């Protein structure tokens, strides 16, 4: 039986690297990536996080060369998480002008003034109970927490931060932070809101890195139920109305449908967090020789871009940028 004439042959546009590059729909570049750093007090501290190979808690002097590499590779920026020497019930180091993150911002901006620095804005790394806000009657007091977040972002702005990123899923946090920044004269500091943050099992290794495992209960009363899709649109719409400049979905891999929903409904730039559990699984599989790490990482990051992410927060950021440069 004769083979019918084929007019459409999509393989014509896949024949060699040149044509594949020419027609590629989605691009991934170092400037799409943001590197998280965990900052601790002291000097000469480079403490590996056992559940996250390649990631470490860093004193500021140890963080500076890593920040320099991020800048030299053209990353979009870095995001700072602080682990203070002393934690208390209200997370006071988060809004102390001499807190660990405030100190890190000043030193990094003095060393690398052009590097874009984002401050994660939450109390969980700073409280002795590791919840994301002030505890009243064994629950997080949403409104009391907002006042402290407002104080924190002003202290970050005074230190020279470029952007703040509230991550605690407190109702009204974007509006409260916007009022605090504007009231202190920092009207140009943008807010990247963790607008859609799920109560996820993928965060496990992060709790080792940030030392923020809750001392009681869990965070399901304020982080989102993984079963909910429509609620994500509501959360995002509220943050847009409150003045968010960018929106984030967290985690990444299991929530790419949510990222696509936000991309279809909102015009703001979108970020996604390629979280610690996702990172750890890739590292473990690669260490066992089960996957090609570079190809899997790049495919995953490209998938986030294809689903609608403008920025990707990822612990693979330096490695991915090196692979891009080496091509």
Active site residues: 197, 250
What's the CA gap between 159 and 67, in Å, rounded?
17
Q: How far apart are CA 153 and CA 156, in angstroms?
A: 5
94/168 Cα distance (integer angstroms) = 13
Rounded Cα–Cα distance for residues 115 and 46 (Å): 21
Distance CA 111, CA 234 (A): 41
Torsional sign, CA 27, 66, 162, 134: positive
For residue 65, with 0-12 CB atoms within 10 Å meaning exposed, 13-18 middle and 19 or more buried, which class applies? exposed
Element (H, E) at 77: strand 77-82
């Amino acid at each position: 039986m004769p083979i019918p004439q084929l007019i459409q042959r999509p393989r014509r546009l896949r024949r060699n690297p040149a044509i594949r590059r020419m027609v590629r729909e989605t691009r991934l570049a170092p400037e799409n990536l943001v590197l998280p750093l965990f900052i601790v007090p002291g000097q000469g501290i480079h403490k590996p996080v056992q559940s996250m190979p390649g990631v470490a808690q860093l004193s500021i002097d140890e963080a500076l060369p890593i920040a320099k590499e991020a800048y030299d590779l053209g990353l979009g920026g870095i995001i700072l998480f602080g682990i203070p020497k002393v934690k208390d019930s209200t997370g006071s180091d988060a809004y102390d002008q001499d807190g660990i993150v405030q100190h890190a911002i000043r030193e990094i901006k003095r060393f690398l003034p052009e590097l874009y620095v984002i401050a994660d804005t939450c109390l969980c790394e700073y409280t002795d109970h590791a919840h994301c806000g002030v505890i009243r009657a064994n629950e997080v007091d949403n409104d009391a927490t907002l006042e402290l977040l407002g104080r924190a972002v002003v202290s970050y702005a005074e230190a020279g931060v470029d952007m703040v990123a509230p991550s605690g899923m407190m109702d009204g946090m974007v509006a409260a932070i916007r009022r605090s920044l504007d009231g202190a004269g920092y009207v140009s500091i943008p807010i990247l809101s963790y607008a859609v943050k799920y109560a996820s099992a993928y965060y496990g290794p992060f709790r080792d890195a940030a030392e923020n495992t809750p001392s009681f209960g869990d965070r399901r009363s304020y982080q989102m139920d993984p079963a909910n899709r429509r609620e994500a649109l509501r959360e995002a719409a509220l943050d847009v109305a409150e003045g968010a400049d960018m929106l984030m979905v967290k985690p990444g891999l299991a929530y790419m449908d949510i990222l696509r929903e936000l991309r279809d409904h909102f015009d703001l730039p979108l970020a996604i967090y390629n979280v610690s559990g996702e990172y750890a699984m890739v590292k473990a599989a690669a260490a066992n020789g089960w996957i090609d790490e570079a190809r899997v990482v790049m495919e995953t990051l490209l998938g986030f871009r294809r689903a609608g992410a403008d920025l990707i927060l990822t612990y693979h950021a330096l490695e991915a940028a090196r692979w891009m440069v080496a091509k």
